Amino acid sequence: MRVNDARDVSDWGRAAAPGERSMVWLLAGVVLVAANLRAALTGVGPLLPGIEASTGLSGTWTGLLGTLPLLTFAATSPLVGRTAHRYGAPRSLAIALAVLAAGLLVRSLPGVIFLFAGTVVVAAAIAYGNVLLPSVIKSTVSEDRIGQVTGLYVTAMGLLAAISSGVSVPMADHLTGGWRTALGVWAVLAVLAFGVWLPRCRRTGPAGAAPAVRERIPWRSPLAWQVSVFMGLQSLGFYTTIAWLPSIVHDHGVGEAAAGWQLFLFQIVGLVSSSALPVLARRWRDQRLLAAAASVIVALGFVLLAVAPQLAVVSSVLTGLGGGACLVLALAFQGQRAADASQAAALASMAQSVGYLVAAVGPLLLGALHDLTGGWTLPLLLLVVLTLAQGAVGAGAGRDLLLKSTSQLPTSVRIGDSPS
């Protein structure tokens, strides 16, 4: 059966309308795909001392293991649309999961070259998942459920990220192969996700039948830039916190183990927040207030950490509370501000590319400021300023608007109007 080449652009990655059983499998697939989008990366940080001792790499080189994925995200995200148009979003996700499993195994092989090469492959595969998952949700879930399903996959993503941070060192201590095995074991999760997701590919139209109209990345759209910058600034806050929170609290007299639990607390509170936010988001199509308020909460957490580091636990709760909400909003905007699945993929591609390029600057900039000043006050105050700017941008991205087709940029249309 051939697919009509003139089919509507919104059908390029759409699977058949799911029944109840199909929806259960869809949600299971979404959860498992999402579980792979951070776990392979957040477990690296706790293993860095062992990696340094084993390989003889300097702190600068091991630090690159944290920055390299973000740079790969930024470089890879604009390429996702071409693959999705050729194979469809469900098939492209399956390919990404297979590549992820292979990359995780490569990363665990002996030899520094495999460590870095595998990291790039893993990050590239995750970039595909980051871009395509909002598009798949947009094309298979009703509009009023996008926020809830987004919250579900953010919860899965965050939960496995937190677990990965906590179990990586114990796995390295107790499994044969040490830290290499602890890095490679996540391939099992990728293979499991691949197996659950694969049936969705069989219900999608034949590959290679690209639609007659192809959405381009909306570089000229002010609304798309607001969504992208909001994504970037919230990612900067998250990855900078992941990189430096243990060091910040350790420098103020907290033990290494307790510092690690502070990072775990930050992520767990973020999970609670990301799970609760969709309930509020469903009631308001206009989400300017939510985006601004969540950003202010994060800023208050950074202020507290700067001026009263002895209250770091409270700071972790605040930054996790606001940060989890900001992540859900950043991902939901990529679907809710798009008119169809193809446009959602184009917007997500732009948001992920810009977002992770911005995020890659955060950990390096904070570390440089710390080296320059010898303390954490100025770096944390910079985070406060950036987070308040994030709130201002979020007030634009949260408006009740849809992007127009890339052929008619830079204007936007009200939701409910016909986006031509």
Distant-in-sequence, close-in-space partners of 380: CB < 8 Å, separation ≥ 6: 248, 302, 303, 305, 306
Show the tokens assigned to 355: 């977002």
Bridge partners of 415, per DSSP, are 417
- How many Å apart are CA 31 and CA 94, to the nearest integer? 14
Q: Which of 318, 371, 411, 328 is nearest to 154 (CA)?
A: 328
- pLDDT value, residue 204: 52
The three-point CA angle 181-182-185 to 5° equals 75
Tokens 């910058």 belong to which residue? 229
> What phi and psi, each to the nearest 5 degrees, are found at residue 111?
115, 130
- pLDDT value, residue 284: 67
- pLDDT value, residue 180: 94
Tokens 């591609």 belong to which residue? 349
- pLDDT value, residue 263: 80
- How many Å apart are CA 338 and CA 8, to the nearest integer? 15
> What phi and psi, each to the nearest 5 degrees, are found at residue 402?
-120, 145
Residue spans per domain, the chain: 9-414
Torsion of CA 71, 236, 64, 313, to 10 degrees: -160
Contact yes or no for 259/280 (Cβ under 8 A): no
Bridge partners of 351, per DSSP, are none
Mind listing the pLDDT tens digit for each residue in 396-410? 999 988 887 654 444
Q: Which CATH architecture has domain 9-414?
A: Up-down Bundle (1.20)
Compute the half-sphere exposure of residue 87: CA atoms within 13 Å on the CB side of its CA: 18
- pLDDT value, residue 213: 46
Mind listing the pLDDT tens digit for each residue in 301-328? 999 999 999 899 999 999 999 999 998 8
Distant-in-sequence, close-in-space partners of 417: CB < 8 Å, separation ≥ 6: 402
**105 alpha carbon, distance to own chain's centre:** 22
Q: Which of 208, 214, 201 is nearest to 346 (CA)?
A: 214
pTM of the model: 0.74
Within 10 angstroms of residue 17's Cβ, the number of other Cβ atoms is: 9
- pLDDT value, residue 114: 95
- How many Å apart are CA 38 and CA 338, to the nearest integer? 25
- How many Å apart are CA 113 and CA 118, to the nearest integer? 8
- Where the chain has pLDDT below 50, the residues are 1-18, 205-213, 407-420
**127 alpha carbon, distance to own chain's centre:** 8
Tokens 């770091």 belong to which residue? 312
- How many Å apart are CA 109 and CA 128, to the nearest integer? 23
- pLDDT value, residue 208: 39
